[in-house]
Structure 1
Amino acid sequence: MFAPQAASYYRDMKISSPTLSSRCADLLRRGIDRLNAQQYAIAEALFREILAQDARHVGAWHQLGVTLARQQQFAQGEAALRHALSLHENGELQRDLAWTLLWQGRDTEAVAAYYSAINLGVREARVFNNLGNLLKKHNDTAHAEAAYRAAIETDPAYALAHGNLAMLQQDAGHFEAAEASLRKALELDPKAMHLWQCYGGLLERLNRLDEADEAYCRGERWESVQFVRRRVAHWTDLDLIDQAALQMVASGAAENLTPWGLLGIPALTPGLHREAGRRFAHTRWRGELAAQPLVARGAGLAEALAACDAGARLRIGYLSADFHEHATLRLLAGVLELHDAARFDIHLYSYGIHAPDAFWRTRLAAMPVTFHAIGGLTDAQAAAQIVRDGIHLLVDLKGYTTDMRLGITALRPAPVIVSWLGYPGSLGAPRLADYIIGDAVVTPAAAASHYSETLALMPHCYQPNDHRRERDPQRPSRAAAGLPERGFVFCSFNQTFKLNARMASIWARLLSATPASVLWLLDPGNERARARLHAFFETQGVARERVIFAPRLAQEAHLARLQLADLALDTLPTGSHTTGSDALWAGVPMVSAVGALFAGRVGASLLHAVGLDELVAHDLDGYFQIALALASDPAWHAQIRKRLAQARSEAPLFDTRRFTCDLERLFMAIVRREAEGGQGPVAVQ
């Protein structure tokens, strides 16, 4: 939003009111000076003084609207600007009206106002750029590109428009063009941290990870530096980089700082992680968060409960992009099949760019659900469809993970919104989700202050499992899996970014204390990462042939080979999630320790739900002792494996029908709490 620098801005307006008095002109100049100095209270008083003398003073109404909007009084600012427009139509008024509409989440009206400003002669690069951002957000990529190019034509030195054009080109898969646009943007503004972040992101997407590291460093985007280094096991100087990243979170120094990428930092606290989520949400979806909710919280739920008592169904919506090859969401398939169709009307909303794969196409046919492909809709259109479908409880399955579209939930398309499964932590912004589903281990009641959401606790484990996964598939030979014929096999199939020097040092001690043992890791897919891991273990006295990398395989083949492992090793500060469930399903015990974060307590929750709490340590020294005892005591190891085999038929973790019933009871408890009121966590026993 722009304020003119002098009252001469209005000189040529043809309005019916008398010529501006010198007194009003002086007040307008002074008011604009105070506005530009961000002394909003004084500026507002000066503009109102003008209006007390001349109620039809367009300039005063205009600048009063700007001043109110700058103070986040967007509705009042809009009213003042519209009054000015009723007295005199001009492009600058339409431009500033667009800004107030944008902040209120009224994108369609904002687009119309920007076009009106342009049609009335406004030729400002920022206007074209803002219009492009709105059009891109609404999937109108052709017109968005035209707007960005108009911004560049208007001001070839406007680096931000070059950068935004690059992001549009990247999303379209035009990586060479995107890199050229980003290089131009950085040439124009080499100190722009946001542009370096974008360039690093493009290089990371192209798997040019060393270049991405350099780009992030150039832009001092330390949270991205630490994440990409962890991806390639580059652990040098990470303590200092981690400190800088956490300081960026605490100070709010960086916008668009994705909370997911912080989870590998050992010093990250739950409170700081929540704050990162809050800042990210208000950076990414500020307009949506400021907009009038489509559905008021709790609206209609008392009536819904009464209808359910009379035999009607509660309408549950699940929102995700991952109804394709995604291991975590596959665990939900059994729950969706077992939902009680007589009591619950289930809707799946898929905004992913991929159509459901063969797994989901087969399973969807057996599910009592209605599937909605909403990938071609804008956030506002998708939210409007959810409203039309009358969803009572909406479950977001993504959180702050890849391809998230929390702009949909920010618009509040349902009376109660729940965060579950995809993201292990608080979203930080209460409007994005009212509840987070956890359990007494991952989200203990004592940790409630670390969440912007109300805790909703499952009785055993928050993570579902699929009862139709194949049991005991034909395992390959050890030789076929790249393992030696003999020797104890420790394994960790977690992503490389979850590994760190402290955990790897413990694993090296286990290898040294267990003759002929090997460590089986998921191949990081990067030669330098493999070399760094081998080099690290060699510094710990472990020969490189004892660290074996397993190639990535399809889920069924992976579960088959996983049976060859003897013990799974959990990681901290972020632990095994689906990886842990896979190991336990394959009959492989896992040793874990309780971390500070939700993401570091999942392994403990899984083990609790299969009745193996003795494999959960309170600290990493205890973790080492438990793992060493299992590797050194064949009788105890055999006993644990026998108990785990029995647990597949008896334990709550693998009882999908029981889990589904518990989840349905939890949904009803949440709805009842919203309808009737209540304090503290919601839990079912």
Structure 2
Amino acid sequence: MNGYTKGARNELFALRPAPIQAMWLGYPGTSGALFMDYIITDQETSPAEVAEQYSEKLAYMPHTFFIGDHANMFPHLKKKAVIDFKSNGHIYDNRIVLNGIDLKAFLDSLPDVKIVKMKCPDAGDNADSSNTALNMPVIPMNTIAEAVIEMINRGQIQITINGFSISNGLATTQINNKAATGEEVPRTIIVTTRSQYGLPEDAIVYCNFNQLYKIDPSTLQMWANILKRVPNSVLWLLRFPAVGEPNIQQYAQNMGLPQNRIIFSPVAPKEEHVRRGQLADVCLDTPLCNGHTTGMDVLWAGTPMVTMPGETLASRVAASQLTCLGCLELIAKNRQEYEDIAVKLGTDLEYLKKIRGKVWKQRISSPLFNTKQYTMELERLYLQMWEHYAAGNKPDHMIKPVEVTESA
């Protein structure tokens, strides 16, 4: 309802229908309007020292003001299995990926599936073996795996293996349009591969799935520097819009990057958009205007995101998300550090595995996607606002948030 976005109804707020009016999500910035009392934010997104940039009083959430319903919309992405297509002892977690609500039952029907423990900086050799968050089932190259790969190579929509429907990840709209849009949870086992998007199997894939207007020249220069320092790497972008592709390519070529170092894909339906994020190794955030929902999308896919917070709200959201996730090592202080973090992830494969394992684990265990906890904390903040008003006080900054546990 509020903010300067399509479909907003700011005129209603100008008429003061409520004694307390607050900005929340949607529009990433201040309203500049005297009729908005609070902006619901957090200490990473809106530090107290820049409070003068806001016409509203700051009202902090305990973790991040951002939230996504990914755990409820896309529960089939909580677990994944991979096919060991190279059989050379090096197992990739993002080349041929299988997801599904019935994934465990399907895997139980297969022979020779082994469990590989994903690495995580916070989970040493003596980590609790009962924690299955980092367990990744691996399907060896056998007749089952070959049938799955053949389905993808032939462009088939779906096959049946041991009574389970296995579907091509590019064909979700043909199978169940409501699942494709995120309105329903897919009922099949979905296969997602790099080959579906023309991504090289043996390369480090950096990605950014934002609209292209968020890419300014200095950001593209940073990305070009990263690609040059990581020779076996590509950048995966979206035709968002398609008319931007030749401009990006021309600009990149002027920076000395061959055309094949940047790969474009069309915009996809919501479920596919989130799911295919698993195929990238690292997401490179746009510092000027961060990925907000797109940042949540890629983090739910388990892909690390490198960001560099600026001064504005729109440029600090990704840092807020990563702080909530517990991945401070992905937040850069300056352009050089941004490049260095991305290059380390692209060249130190053991480190990359650990960070990917950490993101995969933390998206479940941190508050970032916990809508129940978020709702209780938001309600607590509403109560603070009301009690402050009921006591006869004018709106004031609320920068000492109260954390609420689910059991509260």
Q: TM-score, normalised by structure 2?
A: 0.68
Runs of 4+ in 1 over 6 A off after TM superposition: none
CA deviations 1:630-672 (Å, max 9, x no partner) are 1111111111111111112210112211111111101101111
Q: Which of 330, 343, 351 is the aligned partner of 1:636?
A: 351
Question: Structure 2: where are the runs of 5+ without partners?
Answer: 78-98, 100-189, 403-408
Q: Which of 648, 656, 661 is the aligned partner of 2:371?
A: 656
Distance 2:242 2:364 in 1: 39
2:120 maps to which residue? none
Q: Which of 255, 261, 264 is the aligned partner of 1:549?
A: 264
User: Quick one: which amino acid aligns to residue 506 of structure 1?
Assistant: M
Counterparts in 2 of 1:536 and 1:475: CA distance versus 1, 3 Å = farther
Q: Which of 251, 274, 279 is the aligned partner of 1:564?
A: 279
Distance 1:465 1:494 in 2: 16
Secondary structure class of the residue paired with 1:476 = strand
1:457 maps to which residue? 60
2:401 maps to which residue? 684
Contact 1:475 1:561 in 2 (8 A): no
Q: Which of 604, 610, 623 is the aligned partner of 2:325?
A: 610
Contact 2:204 2:346 in 1 (8 A): yes
Using CA pairs below 8 Å that are at least 6 residues apart, which structure has the higher relative contact order? Answer: 2
Distance 2:7 2:73 in 1: 26
Contact 1:666 1:683 in 2 (8 A): no
Distance 1:404 1:569 in 2: 30
Q: Which of 312, 316, 319 is the aligned partner of 1:601?
A: 316
Matched, 1:583 2:298: yes
Distance 2:364 2:241 in 1: 36
Secondary structure class of the residue paired with 1:519 = strand
Matched, 1:520 2:233: no
1:425 maps to which residue? 29
Q: Which of 201, 210, 214 is the aligned partner of 1:485?
A: 201
Q: Within 5 A, what are the aligned runs for 1:526-541?
A: 526-527=242-243, 529-541=244-256
User: Quick one: which amino acid aligns to residue 360 of structure 2?
Assistant: A
Distance 1:445 1:558 in 2: 35
Distance 1:638 1:628 in 2: 14
More strand by share: 2
Contact 2:22 2:37 in 1 (8 A): yes
User: Quick one: which amino acid aligns to residue 33 of structure 2?
Assistant: A
| Offset of residue 581 of structure 1 | 0.6
Distance 1:680 1:610 in 2: 25
Distance 1:594 1:403 in 2: 29
1:668 maps to which residue? 383
Question: Structure 1: where are the runs of 5+ without partners?
Answer: 1-319, 321-395
1:386 maps to which residue? none
Q: CA RMSD in A?
A: 1.3
| Offset of residue 475 of structure 1 | 4.4
Q: Which has the larger radius of gyration?
A: 1
Contact 1:445 1:681 in 2 (8 A): no
Distance 1:636 1:488 in 2: 13
More helix by share: 1
Q: TM-score, normalised by structure 1?
A: 0.41
User: Quick one: which amino acid aligns to residue 401 of structure 1?
Assistant: T
Distance 1:485 1:628 in 2: 19
Distance 1:451 1:541 in 2: 41
Matched, 1:620 2:335: yes
User: Quick one: which amino acid aligns to residue 567 of structure 1?
Assistant: V
Secondary structure class of the residue paired with 1:649 = helix
Distance 1:610 1:475 in 2: 27
Distance 1:510 1:682 in 2: 37
CA deviations 1:456-501 (Å, max 9, x no partner) are 1000000112130214243421111221222000001111111011
User: Quick one: which amino acid aligns to residue 290 of structure 2?
Assistant: G
Contact 2:211 2:238 in 1 (8 A): yes
CA deviations 1:397-441 (Å, max 9, x no partner) are xx111222201111111111111101111110111x111000000
| Offset of residue 526 of structure 1 | 3.2
Secondary structure class of the residue paired with 1:617 = coil
Matched, 1:407 2:11: yes
| Offset of residue 613 of structure 1 | 0.8
User: Quick one: which amino acid aligns to residue 405 of structure 1?
Assistant: R
| Offset of residue 575 of structure 1 | 1.0
- Count of matched residue positions in the alignment of Structure 1 and Structure 2: 287
